[in-house]
Structure 1
Amino acid sequence: MKDNVIASAPSAEFIEVELRSTSAIIRLNRPDIRNALNDQMRQELIAAFEWADRTPEIRAIILTGAGKGFCSGGDIGGMRERLNAPLGDVAFNGWTRQKQTHRGVAAIHGCTKPVIAAINGAAFGLGLDMAMACDFIVAAEGAKMSMSFLKRGLVSDGGGMYFLPRRVGLPRAKELIFSGRVVLSDEALAMGLVDRVSPPEDLIDMACIWAAELTQGSPAAVALSKAILDRTFETSDEEIFAMGRQAQAVCYTTKEHRASVEAFLNKTDSKV
Structure 2
Amino acid sequence: MSPSTIQVTIDSRIATITLNRPEKRNAISNEMRTELIAALETVSRDRAIRAVVLTGNGKGFCAGGDVSGMAERMEAPAGEVAFNGWSRQQIVHHTVNLLYSMPKPTIAAVNGAAAGLGADMALSCDFIIASQEASFAWSYIKRGLIPDGGGMFFLPRRVGIARAKELVFSGRKVDANEALELGIADRLSDAGSLLGDAHAWATELSQGSSTALALGKSILNQSYELSAHQVFAQGSQAQAVCYTSREHRDSVHAFLNNTK
Q: TM-score per shorter chain, which class?
A: over 0.9
- Tell whether the 8 Å contact from 1:74 to 1:126 is kept in structure 2 after alignment: yes
Counterpart mapping for 1:68-83 below 5 A: 68-83=59-74
Partner SS state of residue 112, structure 1: coil
Please state how far the C-alpha of 1:268 moved relative to its aligned partner.
5.7
2:155 pairs with 135, 156, 164, which one? 164
1:148 pairs with 103, 126, 139, which one? 139
Give me the whole-angstrom Cα distance separating, in 2, the residues matched to 1:146 and 1:54. 32
- Tell whether the 8 Å contact from 1:142 to 1:186 is kept in structure 2 after alignment: no
Match of residue 179 from structure 1? 170
Give me the whole-angstrom Cα distance separating, in 1, the residues matched to 2:109 and 2:198. 7
TM-score (norm 2): 0.97
- Tell whether the 8 Å contact from 1:31 to 1:69 is kept in structure 2 after alignment: yes
Match of residue 9 from structure 1? none
1:224 pairs with 215, 222, 241, which one? 215
Does residue 249 (structure 1) correspond to residue 240 (structure 2)? The answer is yes
- Tell whether the 8 Å contact from 1:36 to 1:74 is kept in structure 2 after alignment: yes
Please state how far the C-alpha of 1:137 moved relative to its aligned partner.
0.3
Structure 1 unaligned regions, length at least 5: 1-11
Please state how far the C-alpha of 1:38 moved relative to its aligned partner.
1.0
Match of residue 42 from structure 1? 33
Partner SS state of residue 102, structure 2: coil
Does residue 208 (structure 1) correspond to residue 199 (structure 2)? The answer is yes
Q: Kindly tell me: are residues 33 and 265 of structure 1, through their superposed partners in 2, closer, same or farther at Cα, counting changes over 3 Å? A: same
Please state how far the C-alpha of 1:96 moved relative to its aligned partner.
0.9
Counterpart mapping for 1:116-135 below 5 A: 116-135=107-126
Partner SS state of residue 71, structure 1: coil
1:102 pairs with 93, 98, 117, which one? 93
State, as a whole percentage, how many aligned pairs show the same letter: 56
Give me the whole-angstrom Cα distance separating, in 1, the residues matched to 2:250 and 2:184. 38
Give me the whole-angstrom Cα distance separating, in 2, the residues matched to 1:33 and 1:26. 17
Does residue 87 (structure 1) correspond to residue 81 (structure 2)? The answer is no
Match of residue 260 from structure 1? 251
RMSD, matched Cα: 1.3
| Greater than 6 Å deviation, 4+ residue runs | none
**Alignment length, in residue pairs?**
259
TM-score (norm 1): 0.93
Partner SS state of residue 70, structure 1: coil
Q: Which moved more, 1:83-92 or 1:111-120?
A: 83-92
Please state how far the C-alpha of 1:142 moved relative to its aligned partner.
2.5
Give me the whole-angstrom Cα distance separating, in 2, the residues matched to 1:169 and 1:225. 24
